[in-house]
Amino acid sequence: MGGYEDLQSFIDDTSLDPPEEGGKEGKGLDRLVLSTIHSAKGLEFEAVFVIGLAEGRFPHASAMFGEQWEEERRLLYVAATRAKKYLYLTYPRQLMTPDRQFHRVGMSPFLNELSGGLYERVTARAAEEPDSLSYRSMGGGRPAPLRKTKSKKLEIADFSVGCKVSHPFFGNGTVAKISTGRSLDVLFDRHGVKTLHLDYAKLTII
């Protein structure tokens, strides 16, 4: 934190203040504006990158189907409509869980709702070996190699209360309740009870 008197000064300087478009500072220069979705309301940019659109993160894993789910859907709409010309919706291949393990994740269920003719999907080629320096700097080891498995689409009838399941982000758990439709409650070993919908959640029976 060279150049800062204390931690608070550093935080104040690096906080995500609402961006000012068209200001004198940096006018005419290529620059990057880092912003939250809320702070970007009312502004427009030539190109917008929306990052972190991963299953379990956007919408957040705690969001239930209903008002909270719809509120996060509206937030994504706000983010997407900030772009004048170019819009990039991205999600990571892996995420680190609270127990510092890496798990492969899928894209946000909101992205699955987009009509195919409205976007071009670009899949980044996975590196053969992760950047070991980056993982060590976070105090962890290298993630376990990803295994490609063929999976069939599961139906609600495939599950029963007490059934052991696995989720790429939440880990292992037990089916606690089967609701109407295609949703069920799962008690995960490390993350408690989550309500998941089979159209979006990548569950496997173990």
Query: pLDDT tens digit string along 150-180?
Result: 446 788 889 999 999 998 777 899 999 998 7
Tens digit of each residue's pLDDT (9 = 90 or more) over 9-29: 666 555 555 555 544 544 555
pLDDT at residue 142, rounded to an integer: 45
Phi, psi of 167 (to 5 degrees): -125, 140
On the question of pLDDT at 57 being above 90, the answer is no
pLDDT at residue 128, rounded to an integer: 41
pLDDT at residue 156, rounded to an integer: 86
Q: What is the pTM of this model?
A: 0.50
Could you tell me the domains of the chain?
1-147 (3.30.160.800), 149-206 (2.30.30)
Residue 185, strand partner residues: 177, 195
DSSP 12-54: HHHS-PPP-TT-STTTTS-------TTTTTT--EEEEEE---B
Tens digit of each residue's pLDDT (9 = 90 or more) over 98-125: 777 888 888 888 888 887 777 787 776 5
Decide if 143 contacts 94 (C-beta within 8 A). Answer: yes
DSSP state of 151: -
Nearest Cα residue to 203 out of 81, 41, 52, 56: 56
pLDDT at residue 10, rounded to an integer: 63
